[in-house]
Amino acid sequence: MAIIDQPLRESAATRAASAPESADPRIVAWVERLALHATPDEVVWCDGSQPERARLIRDMVDTGTIVPLDSERRPGSYLARSNPDDVARVESRTFICSEKEEDAGPTNNWVPPAAMRETLHGLFRGAMRGRTMYVVPFAMGPVGGALTRYGVEVTDSPYVVVSMGTMTRMGAEALAQIGPDTEWVKCAHTVGAPLSPGEADVAWPCSTTKYISHFPESREVWSYGSAYGGNAILAKKAFALRIASAIGQDEGWLAAHMLLLKVTNPRGRVFHVAAAFPSACGKTNFAMLQPTIPGWTVETLGDDIAWIAPGPDGRLRAINPEAGFFGVAPGTGRSTNPVAMDTLEHDVVFTNVALTDDGDVWWEGVTDEPPTHLIDWTGQDWTPDADRPAAHPNSRFTVSAAQCPTISDDWDDPAGVTLDAIIFGGRRATNVPLVSEARSWEHGVFMGATLASERTAAAEGTVGELRRDPFAMLPFCGVHMADHWRLWLEVGAKAEAAGGAPAIFQVNWFRKGADGKFLWPGFGENIHALAWMLDRIEGRAEGVDSPFGRVPAAGEIDYAAADVSDAQWAALFGLDQAALTAEADDAARFLDSYGAKVPDEVREQLAVMREAIDEL
Ligand code: PEP
Ligand code: NA
Ligand code: MN
């Protein structure tokens, strides 16, 4: 490999001088070392200001990275088209480089840290040649907040800088919070596409070589070769889930792949709820739910990540550490998620959706009928008779949470919100009832640990085959998955001792009848299940026992109001002993595959479930 070693000592001094006064010397030193090694043409410390964002956007329009949308139809908005090989997270190139392999566990790719450092050292040498290195300080959570953490991402991608500006509290205020005793997460990112002198750039630089590497002990992320969200916006999945799950392990708090919402019932009582669903199970839709029962209000706090920690009173508090939504566009429309559609009216960066002839965006599901002509996500002409989608199935929107019309007034409360309920959900055609309440915190942890979702026809694998996705964290857990379950048990036990842990529930919006049709209408009607859960917390509903915990008793949910028949309702809670025995057997094999670290409490809950199934 050609090694480029052109940096001059003098230019390093110039770079250090360009750092803001308030920058912690450790950050300055780290940035200086990285600059000497990656040899960018220039180092820019980002302040997070509007003029800075405007400048970055202008530069990206000039280089063709983004296209401005029609300023009447979609004010302040842009479309980015990625390299067709850089469209999604690359789990096969995502690594947890813990000192010990057993700390990464069976669900992660592990490489010894020293070996990975050597690889990355080679790759980062000269990697930013011809580009600008941006230094992006950021806060995860409200600046100065009780649960807030800080990080610095160094990147040579202006698209990543602008995305970080939307997804985090980015800039000078965050930098000023990092003092000599503040732990901060180092996030180093390059697209891995150095430019020779005079070489023209491409619209979406990236590399065919990709590494998304995490060092949980030293709180570092090193990302090479991709500019796609989950691989490059390192505050999000890399820090707020993978590194945070390791920090939480050391400090006794939980990084969760969960939406966060606030519900007010007709009596004015307020509840805060966190919910984990694997991909393609409607997390963003649930976070923006529009209740069909009069008198109930749902407000949004977050759609993807929650940090949950004991508060001063010992009860669990939660924050959404992010400041924006990086959501999947296809399937989002007026009928499925009107709140998201309102959120996306202005100041959005879209990635890999289609462009209309009048300068707006389009994706599958946004209207029933596609326009007669589009430019597809690859930049080609597209008409409805094309046998390929116009928008990439993983096309995204990046938008500020503050402009969501249902954003809760406490979403950026520095103290976080007290958590009343936690929900686990998956896509299950059979077995799992519409809603059930865990018998105990341990039972709730069992629900999370054995969470599963069925593969759809669109995904790889056999249709209907169960994919276990514990806590919806399979791609995002930076520690041994069973250690993560142990932590959930410990955090819950402490909260219970201090005056009450949140109640835990399981939901399934996707159960099907014998005719193969969904039994439950979903979307806004999900308020019926949510209202029952909160009625349980308030002591207004009794429920009855089942192998899945407490389920609604007769008369506790007015399902007729959701246009669900008595027969459909019965089928939503149907118990088939043979199928449930097979389900328990599958869960047992799954737990065994995680080895000796599986907590006894989790195995005991499986035994309790088996007993209840045997008694049917
Ligand atoms: C991502 O890919 O960046 C991302 C947010 O992942 P997901 O939507 O699958 O959670
Ligand atoms: Na993805
Ligand atoms: Mn997610």
DSSP codes of every residue in 593-615: HTGGGS-HHHHHHHHHHHHHHHT
User: Is 83 a known ligand-binding residue?
Assistant: no
Ligand 1 proximity of 228 Cβ (cutoff 6 Å): no
Give this prediction's pTM. 0.96
Q: Best mutation site among 160, 189, 242, 304 for ligand 1, i.e. most ligand atoms within 8 A of its Cβ? A: 304
Ligand 1 proximity of 297 Cβ (cutoff 6 Å): no
The CATH-assigned architecture of domain 325-403 is Beta Complex (2.170)
Distances (CA, A) of 198 to 2, 129, 153: 18, 12, 27
ipTM here? 0.91
Ligand 1, atom 3, lies closest to the CA of: 230
* C-beta separation of 527 from 296 below 8 A: yes
* C-beta separation of 339 from 405 below 8 A: yes
Which atom from ligand 1 is nearest to the alpha carbon of 327?
Answer: 8
User: Is 229 a known ligand-binding residue?
Assistant: yes
18-74 pLDDT per residue, tens = 899 999 999 999 999 999 999 999 999 999 999 999 999 999 999 999 999 999 999
pLDDT band per the 50, 70, 90 thresholds, residue 455: confident
Which atom from ligand 1 is nearest to the alpha carbon of 279?
Answer: 9
Distances (CA, A) of 340 to 67, 325, 584: 22, 10, 38
Q: What is the pLDDT of residue 280?
A: 77
How much distance in Å is there from the Cα of 420 to the middle of ligand 1? 26
* Main-chain dihedrals φ then ψ at residue 283, nearest 5 degrees: -65, -50
Q: Does 517 or 10 have the greater pLDDT score?
A: 517
Which atom from ligand 1 is nearest to the alpha carbon of 229?
Answer: 3
Which atom from ligand 1 is nearest to the alpha carbon of 231?
Answer: 3
How much distance in Å is there from the Cα of 473 to the middle of ligand 1? 11
Helix (H) or strand (E) holding 324: strand 324-328
User: Is 513 a known ligand-binding residue?
Assistant: no
Which residues are catalytic, by number?
281
Q: What is the pLDDT of residue 545?
A: 98
Ligand 1 proximity of 89 Cβ (cutoff 6 Å): yes
571-615 pLDDT per residue, tens = 999 999 999 999 999 999 999 999 999 999 999 999 999 999 999
pLDDT band per the 50, 70, 90 thresholds, residue 17: low
497-500, long-range: CB < 8 A, 24+ apart:
497/314, 498/310, 498/313, 498/314, 498/315, 499/313, 499/314, 499/315, 500/315
Ligand 1, atom 4, lies closest to the CA of: 230
Question: Is pLDDT at 458 greater than 50 in this prediction?
Answer: no
* Main-chain dihedrals φ then ψ at residue 185, nearest 5 degrees: -90, 130
90-144 pLDDT per residue, tens = 999 999 999 999 999 999 999 999 999 999 999 999 999 999 999 999 999 999 9
What's the mean per-residue pLDDT of the chain?
95
User: Is 508 a known ligand-binding residue?
Assistant: no
Ligand 1 proximity of 326 Cβ (cutoff 6 Å): yes
Nearest ligand, CA of residue 223? 1
How many residues appear in the chain?
Answer: 616
Ligand 1 proximity of 230 Cβ (cutoff 6 Å): yes
Q: Which residues of 239-277 are buried (b: 16+ CB within 10 A; e: fewer)?
A: bbbbbbbbbbbeeebbbbbbbbbbbbbeeeebbbbbbbb
CATH classification of 255-321+412-573, choosing from 3.40.50.300, 3.90.228.20, 1.20.1250.20, 3.40.50.150?
3.90.228.20
pLDDT band per the 50, 70, 90 thresholds, residue 465: confident
Look at residues 335, 301, 303, 294 and name the one whose alpha carbon lies nearest to residue 317: 301
User: Is 108 a known ligand-binding residue?
Assistant: no
User: Is 314 a known ligand-binding residue?
Assistant: no
Q: Write out the residues surrounding ion ligand 3, Cβ under 5 A.
A: 304
Decide whether 9-65+90-250 matches 325-403 in CATH topology: no
Q: What is the pLDDT of residue 289?
A: 97
Which atom from ligand 1 is nearest to the alpha carbon of 257?
Answer: 10
Q: What is the pLDDT of residue 463?
A: 62
User: Is 5 a known ligand-binding residue?
Assistant: no
Ligand 1, atom 6, lies closest to the CA of: 230
How much distance in Å is there from the Cα of 256 to the middle of ligand 3? 10
534-558 pLDDT per residue, tens = 999 999 999 999 999 999 999 999 9
* Main-chain dihedrals φ then ψ at residue 468, nearest 5 degrees: -70, 135
Question: Is pLDDT at 10 greater than 70 in this prediction?
Answer: no
Question: Is pLDDT at 402 greater than 80 in this prediction?
Answer: yes
Mean pLDDT of 335-343: 96
Ligand 1, atom 1, lies closest to the CA of: 230
pLDDT band per the 50, 70, 90 thresholds, residue 461: low
pLDDT band per the 50, 70, 90 thresholds, residue 12: very low
Q: What is the pLDDT of residue 456?
A: 56
Sorted by where each begins, the domain ranges of the chain are: 9-65+90-250, 255-321+412-573, 325-403
Ligand 1 proximity of 150 Cβ (cutoff 6 Å): no
Question: Is pLDDT at 459 greater than 60 in this prediction?
Answer: no
Ligand 1 proximity of 229 Cβ (cutoff 6 Å): yes
Q: Supply the DSSP symbol for 539.
A: T
Superfamily of domain 9-65+90-250: Phosphoenolpyruvate Carboxykinase, domain 1 (3.40.449.10)
How much distance in Å is there from the Cα of 366 to the middle of ligand 2? 20
Ligand 1 proximity of 279 Cβ (cutoff 6 Å): yes
Mean pLDDT of 383-398: 97
Q: Best mutation site among 87, 94, 237 for ligand 1, i.e. most ligand atoms within 8 A of its Cβ? A: 237
Lowest mean pLDDT among 15-29, 39-53, 244-258, 364-378: 15-29
pLDDT band per the 50, 70, 90 thresholds, residue 466: confident
Which atom from ligand 1 is nearest to the alpha carbon of 476?
Answer: 10
Ligand 1, atom 9, lies closest to the CA of: 279
Distance (Å, rounded) from C-alpha 191 to C-alpha 189?
7
